[in-house]
Amino acid sequence: MPALITPADLAARLGSPTLRLFDCTTFLHPQPGTHRLRVETGQRGYEEGHLPGAALIDLQADLSDPANGLRFTAPAPDDLARRFQALGVGDDTEVVLYSASDAWWATRVWWLLRAIGMDRAAVLDGGQRAWVDEGRPLSREPVRHPPAARLTPRPRPVFTDRHGVQAALDRGSAVVVNCLRPEQHDGTAALHYGRPGHITGSINLPAAALFDERGRYLPPAALREVFAARGIDRQQLVIAYCGGGIAATGDAFALTALLGHEAVQVYDNSLQEWAADASLPMSTG
């Protein structure tokens, strides 16, 4: 199964006993008068209509470790495997992920699966919108996949932490990429994560720049041009970050799944951690 599939590809798989389909929709809402964001699950939209056979993932509750007080932190590999197993993902299943909001909510879950070596996973290109645009039906029937018998974790070093980012910047051994929008990168946006701007030494390639107007990934040739224009090539380690390790997976997925770039990591806690520590360098402009 390719890592990026079309609605037709998915429709041909519906009804397979090994398929586990998940709605990964999540929303972040700015809170008026603050720099904070409120997390909303996709529950309401799921109840109004979802792809047939899809179960809902609550990313914060189901697949995040709250121990450090930050949002969306990836659990340790064994814990993460147990969480996916409880959602129905096993050694013998195929997983398809989609979102009715931004695509990077689905790529975040794909990246979590990659972190534990689960490669039989795909993202629906264009998400729920693409499915509906083709005239395909939605369902209101709630779905909960039965727990899987076993999911064997095979951990990969696809996440890094603040120390890894600092070391890479000090050595010049990686391209560190801010995947937030330009106004957040340069520090002019009202929304920030404690301090405005970006990690000093990082470049900007917004995840949103990798998609067309219908929310589908650009073709591989166009993606190569976008990355090349930022000076990113297959010979470099790329560390992607954003506000909380979500949008960063939009870039990371494109590099690994669509362009075959293996040396890619996501800074998991991203600016919600980095910006909160005044000793860590940030820049504007």
What pLDDT digit, counting tens, does each position of 230-279 carry?
Answer: 999 888 999 999 999 999 999 999 999 999 999 999 999 999 999 999 99
Query: What is the pLDDT, as a whole number, of residue 194?
Result: 85
Letter string b/e over residues 163-194, b meaning 16 or more CB atoms within 10 A of that residue's CB? ebbbebbeeeebbbbbbbbeebbbeeeebbbe
Measure the CA–CA gap between 128 and 35, rounded to whole angstroms: 30
Query: What is the pLDDT, as a whole number, of residue 189?
Result: 87
For the domain 159-283, what is the CATH code? 3.40.250.10
Per-position DSSP letters for 193-215, written without gaps between them = SSSSSEETT-EE--GGGGB-TTS
Per-position DSSP letters for 216-238, written without gaps between them = PBPPHHHHHHHHHHTT--TTSEE
pLDDT band at 33 (very low <50, low <70, confident <90, very high): low
Digit-coded pLDDT (tens) for 130-156: 999 999 999 999 999 999 999 999 999
Angle of helix 104-115 relative to helix 77-86, nearest 10 degrees, comes to 120
- pLDDT of 32 over the 80 cut: no
Residue 280 class from Cβ within 10 Å (0-12 exposed, 13-18 middle, 19+ buried)? Answer: middle
Across 87-102, average pLDDT: 98
Q: Which CATH topology does 4-133 take? A: Oxidized Rhodanese; domain 1 (3.40.250)
Digit-coded pLDDT (tens) for 195-228: 999 999 999 999 999 999 999 999 999 999 999 9
Measure the CA–CA gap between 63 and 150, rounded to whole angstroms: 17
Quote the pTM value: 0.97
Start-end of CATH 3.40.250.10 domains in the chain: 4-133, 159-283
Query: What is the pLDDT, as a whole number, of residue 29?
Result: 87
